[in-house]
Amino acid sequence: MDTGTVVTPPYVAGPLELAPFRALRVDPSRVGDPASARLFARPFRSVAGRVRQWETQGHLLHESRPCLYLHEYTVNGVTVRGLVGALDVSRRATDPEQRAVLPHEGIYPAQADNLADRMHQMDLNPAPILLVQESPAPLRLLLRRQREAPPEVSFVDRAGCAHRLWTLHDPLVLETIAELLAPTTAVIADGHHRYAAYLRLQQRQPGPGFDQGLAMIVDHGDTPLFLGAIHRVLHGSSVDDVAVAARSVGIPTRPGHQSEALAALSPGVLVATDNDRWLRLDVGERVDRVEIEALHDRLVPALAHGPTRITHHHSAADALAHAGHADTTAILLPAPRYEQVQRVVQADRLFPEKATSFQPKPPLGVLLRRVHDEDDDPPSPPPRRVQRSRQRS
């Protein structure tokens, strides 16, 4: 993709609102099954019909009343808990003080348009976008009290991910959650293009349905997401090119052996290598800027040769595997900290493309939202066989 086409998505204006909705839930025995992904596959205009067929067959449960949901999932020992509801996207912020939802990366307009078309055809939000915030202490306490009751749903999916789900429908609880969320903001951790698609759909067809989009808000102070780095490979630029560019913009460099360079990788320090030569780059540690900004704003523009392209890699091993061929240099980055992400978005800046990796994401199928739901005429559930939840062995 041409990085020149990246734009800042619009900002949703406060108050931050997460409304109850009647969730669709894939049968626990099918969550995590790759075959279940075919429910949302092309042709997208057929998805709504497939969803209704699955609902009739008992493979999808449609909640009888609108609720908020507290969804807890554990992947590879990391537990994440989030509040899931229908995010109000009907208002646009005209100045920074009005913003309620804060993107930290730009989006490609064409990709957002394609996703909007797809969701319009499906009449479905197949998965929540992932938002993160430091929730107010009273909200954290309220949700902790809700978890004192046994979860309505508890299972281990086909991929080995453990889930617990509480439904929140008490009017007083919902009212209190709304009051506590309203003055807060949330950062988009995952789903920037789906967020932009929500806004496009709302602009095309304002009113019930597209005025909202499915979202999960995770409290960083309760169950923080793992935040990892996304490393770079500079194609067409050598380690020597990187060293010369660094010196020209005042970035201290230090050559060394592989073990020394990797041990030095830390906040404020990058590592450049072609798997033969290893170079430490001291860009400096700052709470209001991230190391990847130094790479893209200072170092890359100063390169005398290349890069002809930049590729992104979620693991250092993968980046190193692509380095060393025809003047190809891996740039290993430290993981940004959540506090840095907050500072950047509050300063009304965006990160470079693919700068963060928030994990783990909520698995597909646990909670879905039908955009135009029949709130006044819920379908009668079909007879269902009693199925035991799968337990860990």
Query: pLDDT tens digit string along 137-177?
Result: 999 999 999 999 999 999 999 999 999 999 999 999 999 99
One domain for residues 57 and 142: yes
One domain for residues 83 and 208: yes
Whether residue 375 is predicted with pLDDT greater than 90 in this model: the reply is no
CA distances 91 to 10, 20, 103, 106, 208, Å, are 10, 18, 15, 20, 14
The pLDDT mean for the chain works out to 92
Q: Number of structural domains, the chain?
A: 2
- Rounded to an integer, what distance in angstroms lies between the CA atom of residue 33 and that of residue 159? 7
Whether residue 195 is predicted with pLDDT greater than 70 in this model: the reply is yes
One domain for residues 215 and 239: no
One domain for residues 10 and 138: yes
Over residues 330-344, the mean pLDDT reads: 94
One domain for residues 174 and 70: yes
Look at residue 187 and tell me if it is in a domain. Answer: yes
Q: Which domain holds residue 300?
A: 227-342
One domain for residues 112 and 166: yes
Q: Higher model confidence: residue 390 or residue 123?
A: 123
196, containing H or E segment: helix 192-204
One domain for residues 196 and 239: no
Look at residue 16 and tell me if it is in a domain. Answer: yes
One domain for residues 243 and 215: no
Q: Per-residue confidence at 374, pLDDT binned at 50, 70, 90? A: low
- Rounded to an integer, what distance in angstroms lies between the CA atom of residue 32 and that of residue 37? 9
Whether residue 359 is predicted with pLDDT greater than 80 in this model: the reply is yes
| 84 touches 215 (CB < 8 A) | yes
332, containing H or E segment: strand 328-332
Over residues 363-385, the mean pLDDT reads: 66
Whether residue 384 is predicted with pLDDT greater than 50 in this model: the reply is no
User: Model pTM?
Assistant: 0.90
Look at residue 380 and tell me if it is in a domain. Answer: no
- What is the sign, positive or negative, of the torsion defined by CA atoms of 384, 385, 390, 391? positive
> How confident is the model at residue 116, as a pLDDT?
97
Residue with tokens 């798997």: 275
Q: Per-residue confidence at 322, pLDDT binned at 50, 70, 90? A: very high
> How confident is the model at residue 287, as a pLDDT?
79
Cβ count near 327 (within 10 Å): 18
Share of the chain above pLDDT 90, in %: 88
CATH number at residue 326: 3.30.1760
Q: Higher model confidence: residue 381 or residue 20?
A: 20
One domain for residues 177 and 233: no
> How confident is the model at residue 391, as a pLDDT?
36
Look at residue 387 and tell me if it is in a domain. Answer: no
18, containing H or E segment: strand 18-19
| 23 touches 367 (CB < 8 A) | yes
Altogether, the residues listed in the chain come to a count of: 393
Look at residue 57 and tell me if it is in a domain. Answer: yes
> How confident is the model at residue 208, as a pLDDT?
92
3-state DSSP assignment of residue 55 = helix
One domain for residues 155 and 233: no
φ, ψ for residue 183 (rounded to 5)? -85, 0
- Rounded to an integer, what distance in angstroms lies between the CA atom of residue 185 and that of residue 182? 8
Look at residue 388 and tell me if it is in a domain. Answer: no
Whether residue 380 is predicted with pLDDT greater than 50 in this model: the reply is no
3-state DSSP assignment of residue 307 = coil
Whether residue 387 is predicted with pLDDT greater than 80 in this model: the reply is no
> How confident is the model at residue 325, as a pLDDT?
76
One domain for residues 330 and 195: no
Look at residue 389 and tell me if it is in a domain. Answer: no
DSSP secondary structure code for residue 301 in this structure: G
Look at residue 355 and tell me if it is in a domain. Answer: no
Residue with tokens 């900002």: 11
Q: Per-residue confidence at 286, pLDDT binned at 50, 70, 90? A: confident
3-state DSSP assignment of residue 131 = strand
One domain for residues 179 and 257: no
> How confident is the model at residue 289, as a pLDDT?
87
